[in-house]
Structure 1
Amino acid sequence: MSQPAARAEEAAPGDAAPSASDTRLLWGIALGQTIGWGTLYYAFPLFGAPLEAELGWSRAAFNAGLTLSLLVSGLAAIPVGRMVDRSGGRRMVAWGAGAGALLLLAWAGTSSLPVFWGIWLLMGLAHAASLWAPAMAVVVAMARDPARTITGITFVTGFTATIFTPLTALLIEGLGWRGALLALAALQAVVLPLTLWLLPAEGERPSTAPRPGFSLWQAVRRPAFLQIAACFAALSFVSIGLTAHVIPMLRERGLAEPMVILIVSLHGPFQVAARALLFALGKRVTMRGVGKLATLLTPCAMLVLALAPPALLPFLLYALLWAMADGLMTIVRAAGVAEILGREAYGTITGALTMLSLLPRTLAPLAIALLWEGMGGYGPVPWLLAGLGCVAAATFFRAAR
């Protein structure tokens, strides 16, 4: 048995005998992550057009806000991961969610571009403290069956874009962009008490806590870690870039607005369908196998995006392929890291993976915006994303081997 696998057995979360059922943990994380991602991330690109129209900001200037947020969240990933490994993440996830609500309120009250950038710089700390990585560390540390719990969580969070894309569009249409932000802030504020109520209190020492003598430097020098890091970095550029630009990209291709909203909104149901299949297969598949499939689907989806004519069916195929890839990789990023690298210092290790994805995550929205401005359109963007998808597939296959 390999050393990481042996550590995974010895540090299995089931040994911690959590005080609440996995079901309560599942719903506490799932509801908080659905609202958090919907209000603090997926809603962002829909505010671009009204802010550009009212305040005269350029697309690159607007997307620089998300770039700053991703930069700060990446830099904070390792310190946050260490704190979660040492003392648990329940309070951090809750108070990070509360900070996100306050920052949405601040955004609703500003017309200054520098203030907007400052708000999104601080939003990066809220992202690092409340979204996904610390939440998954809580699950890995406390759940009796982490893989099953994570899969269940992704069933719920898979509907985030489906819920929040049309909801945010309706709020902006009915309340204006400032009123929409106030409504989203009120919804986000609910996550703080919800998290504290549903998530069980941590014990004195989380099961993912590193043993004495643990060296992050030695951990990140392992070939499998470096290969997974390269894969995640490439996929981060693809995912973040698409999130920020897919709506104007589809509009540019000549698709009608209802069709654009439909294609974006179907991302969630298609993700859930892929996860349902994975759940049904159970022990017959491994996270290594799931990761291989997901990384192969990514460049296929980008090629369809590049070549599809402006009709519904081809873009539905793109939406299906990309949603399956993205949905499965969400599980691989959480449970797959534990399977391949072990659970010891899980928060710190996943923080290091996030930090190594910092540059592509940070550059993606702004780089694609600059490419759009320089080329006069999004024409070369899908080809760039397809190439990065091939890099992700090649590096993950090596790590899985």
Structure 2
Amino acid sequence: MDGSAPEMAGPGERPASDRRLILCIAIGQLIGWGTLFSAFPLFGAPIEAELGWTRTEFNAGLTLALLVSGLAAVPAGRWVDRRGGRWLLALGGWGGAVLLAAWSQTSSLPVYWAIWAGMGLVQAAALWAPAMAVVVKLAREPVRAITGITFVTGFTATVFVPLTAMLIELWGWRDALLVLAGLQAIPGVLALWLLPPDQPQAGVRDGGSFDLGRAMRTPAFLGLAGALAAHAFIGVGLGAHAIPLLRERGLPEASVIALVSLHGPFQVAARAALFALGRRVTMRGVGRLASALLPVAMLLLAVAPPEFGWLILYILAWAMADGLMTIVRAAGVAEILGREGYGAITGALSAVTVLPRTLAPVLIALISEGAGGYGPVPWLLAGLGACGAACFALAAAQRSR
């Protein structure tokens, strides 16, 4: 992100500036996560009311997409390693637009599930892991580029939740999906316009010497997998249960909403601090801090009195950990494991986190029901966070390949 004019790189060259790359990936990820993920829950009530589906039947679509995306993550990563990601991101973006439009026209539950199975392929092709593989492959300063991208993507829910709610209220869920489909076509256009042409990497087209299986058996990979799996479970679990958990503490509704809403700004503040520090910090150090903050945040949630002033400390620690771990998930992998086979490795790490992300809301619900409340949940998450911190410490202690 220097001051030079943005130029398109020649074949096999890094661009003179990261601005075009950051613009393309940041806008593409903002729209992609907004239309293909953040907006999803808002369609539940109107679809259930019109079509008579149960909440479980509706949510099974997203669960199916997560499972398919996990299976497709490694092939998508290998594609970026071998051939580049420009066309993968473009086709994934346009595929998402087509599937959103198809969803708007269906009233059949099996067709809906088939659409969301296809959406899993789109997510594997167009969302975080392959996009970050492109950034690591092309950026002059990958850490600063990734941090800059997360400034924008941190506002995904802030933009797309109210926008989608307004569209549904004004025009109904079917027309709202068509508008989102139109927006989802934009990332594909940006990928072809702003990214340099794909250039197959010499020696990698036919598999090269990189051995993913061997890399996955290293302590560094296993440590990262454990840390990211713990973070994914905590993040998705809290995303589904934070509001009822805080309500159970007896907080006023305004305090509950304010605490949850502060997560985004605190995330962005942590990323801004990291951006300002630049090369003075390493991803190993940032990851150690972020993973250590996870159990601290959960312990604060467990022991803090039911008062806004105390619980804001929990939100601050959790948002900082969450915001920094998002960057570590991309840039930290390259620092610890190296850039060789980066796309395949990040695809494998994405696959590892699918099961924790899928199971977290259900398991936390079962625990709270069995215990008659959310009392044990923060302690469980604190223990899981501590395990994740130990796993990252193991990974960070390893030397890069």
TM-score in terms of structure 1 length? 0.86
Q: Name the residue aligned to 1:229.
A: 225
Aligned pairs, number: 389
Q: Name the residue aligned to 1:292.
A: 288
1:200 aligns with 2:196: yes
Per-residue CA shift, 1:371-398, capped at 9, x if unaligned? 5666666554443333221211111112
Q: Name the residue aligned to 1:4.
A: none
- Structure 1 residues 371 and 192: alpha-carbon distance in aligned structure 2, compared to 1, 3 A threshold: farther
1:142 aligns with 2:138: yes
- Structure 1 residues 195 and 254: alpha-carbon distance in aligned structure 2, compared to 1, 3 A threshold: farther
Distance 1:226 1:143 in 2: 27
Q: Name the residue aligned to 1:282.
A: 278
Letter in 1 for 2:118: L
Letter in 2 for 1:335: A
Residue 317 of structure 1: how far off its partner (Å): 3.4
TM-score in terms of structure 2 length? 0.86
Which is further off, 86-95 or 208-217?
A: 208-217
Decide which of 302, 315, 337 is 2:298's aligned counterpart: 302
Residue 399 of structure 1: how far off its partner (Å): 1.4
- Structure 1 residues 185 and 303: alpha-carbon distance in aligned structure 2, compared to 1, 3 A threshold: farther
Structural mapping, 1:40-189, within 5 Å: 40-52=36-48, 55=51, 57-189=53-185
- Structure 1 residues 250 and 95: alpha-carbon distance in aligned structure 2, compared to 1, 3 A threshold: farther
Distance 2:203 2:319 in 1: 33
Asked whether the 8 Å contact 2:219–2:394 carries over to 1, the reply is no
Q: Percent of counterpart pairs with the same letter? A: 66
Asked whether the 8 Å contact 1:30–1:154 carries over to 2, the reply is yes
Residue 139 of structure 1: how far off its partner (Å): 0.9
- 1:138 counterpart SS class: helix
Q: Name the residue aligned to 1:3.
A: none
- 1:217 counterpart SS class: helix
Asked whether the 8 Å contact 1:272–1:327 carries over to 2, the reply is yes
5+ unaligned residues in a row in structure 1: which ranges? 1-12
Distance 1:378 1:58 in 2: 25
Per-residue CA shift, 1:110-136, capped at 9, x if unaligned? 444433332222211111000011111
Residue 297 of structure 1: how far off its partner (Å): 1.6
Asked whether the 8 Å contact 1:85–1:345 carries over to 2, the reply is yes
Greater RCO (CA < 8 Å, at least 6 residues apart): 1
Letter in 1 for 2:177: L
- 1:200 counterpart SS class: coil
Per-residue CA shift, 1:208-230, capped at 9, x if unaligned? 88983322221111111111111
Q: Name the residue aligned to 1:324.
A: 320
Per-residue CA shift, 1:281-310, capped at 9, x if unaligned? 222211111011111222233334445566
- 2:210 counterpart SS class: coil
- Structure 1 residues 248 and 182: alpha-carbon distance in aligned structure 2, compared to 1, 3 A threshold: farther
Per-residue CA shift, 1:246-305, capped at 9, x if unaligned? 455556666666655544443332211101111112222111110111112222333344
1:336 aligns with 2:332: yes
5+ unaligned residues in a row in structure 2: which ranges? 1-8
Asked whether the 8 Å contact 2:65–2:120 carries over to 1, the reply is yes
Asked whether the 8 Å contact 2:11–2:197 carries over to 1, the reply is no
Name the Cα RMSD after superposition. Answer: 3.0
